[in-house]
Structure 1
Amino acid sequence: MNFRKLVPIILLFTCSFYAQENIKDKKEQIRSLKVAFFTSELDLSSQESEKFWPLYNAYDDKQFEIRHKKMRFFKSKMHGDALNKMSEKDAAALLYQMDAADEELFLLRKKFSKNVKSVLPAVKILKLKKAEDNFYRKLLQQYGDRGKKK
């Protein structure tokens, strides 16, 4: 293979590797912030914490995977002028796939709620739901504030 043909492939691979590393780094940063926030909001005992975090982390990882992989695929299909050029059949199929992903997220949340009931009392589960909403609201607010400073 010609070296000139190999250089773009290497650059593409390197860029995608760094992009994935950046996503992993950001995900870990968010996870750390989330752990600190939830710990203060939920006031978990050491026994609760020991059982809660493995459940929550597994749920959070699966949720991220669904959103990241599937939603990125959906956005790519609707990017730019592609949506205007899409046939009705293709649009219906994409809509069905989007509904299926939403259903998958719903079932995942339902399964998590069922599992966490064996670990936390109902009041703390409600606090968790409130803490998640507050956490993501603050995260979005910080993201928006960062964009205004530029």
Structure 2
Amino acid sequence: MNHLLRSLLVLMLLAVVPAASFAQADRQARLNQLENAKIAYITDKISLTQDQAQKFWPVYNDFTNKRRDINRRMRLLRSTNPDALTDQQIKDNLTQAMDLRQQEVKLEKEYFERFQKLLSIRQVGKLYTAERDFTREVIKRVADRRGPRGSHATDQPNN
């Protein structure tokens, strides 16, 4: 009986591991698809030439990775329940959060300067608008796919 239980457990694990791998691969494929859509969207919105694109995208990707890291660290700080912390730990977390926000502003200023060396100022302005618009569009599509969340969602006027 014990051997049968172990065999069933092994079979279940063999069934679950590929499913988890497929789920991870599917998630990665969706992220790649989203990233490709963002590249196409921004390229179109700021009218990048091929020469500009070759120089711009490595710089932009570096900026995005650094900004994503700061945001990830900020989320980790916010995910901690303040009731589970001492006053000093709360103070330290808030101080770290402010430091991260300063790092983010410093990063944005640095890359603003770098982007101006690669693009016209009009294209840089359009870049920031395109980023916001793309994010709004993704959020809207995700919300549309999920449907309304309760009856109050239909009571809100569309802006």
Find the partner of 2:70 among 66, 71, 76: 66
Runs of 5+ in structure 1 lacking a partner? none
Partner residue of 1:40 out of 36, 44, 55 = 44
2:56 is the alignment partner of 1:52 = yes
**What is the CA-CA distance between 1:49 and the residue it aligns to?**
1.0
| 1:8-53 C-alpha deviation (Å, 9 max, x unpaired) | xx9xxx7998887666544423211110111111111111111111
TM-score normalized by the length of structure 2? 0.72
**Structure 2 residue 146 is matched with structure 1 residue 147:** yes
Seq. identity, %: 24
Letter in structure 2 aligned against 1:75:
R
Change (3 A) 1:36 1:110: same
The answer for the alignment partner of 2:152 in structure 1 is none
Give the direction of change, closer, same or farther, for the CA distance of 1:141–1:119 in structure 2 (3 Å limit): same
Higher Cα Rg, which structure: 2
Aligned length: 136
CA 1:103–1:144 in structure 2 vs 1: closer, same or farther (change >3 Å)? same
Closer, same or farther in 2 for the Cα pair 1:65/1:19, shift >3 Å? farther
TM-score by length of 1: 0.76
Equivalence for 1:75 = 78
RCO higher in structure (CA 8 A, sep ≥6): 1
Aligned mates of 1:104, 1:17 — CA distance in 2: 36
What is the distance in 2 between the residues matched to 1:122 and 1:33? 24
Structure 2: gaps of 5 or more residues: 1-5, 150-159
Measured after TM superposition, the shift of residue 98 of structure 1 is: 0.9
1:75-117 Cα deviation digits (max 9, x unpaired): 3313xxxx22322211111101111111111111111111111
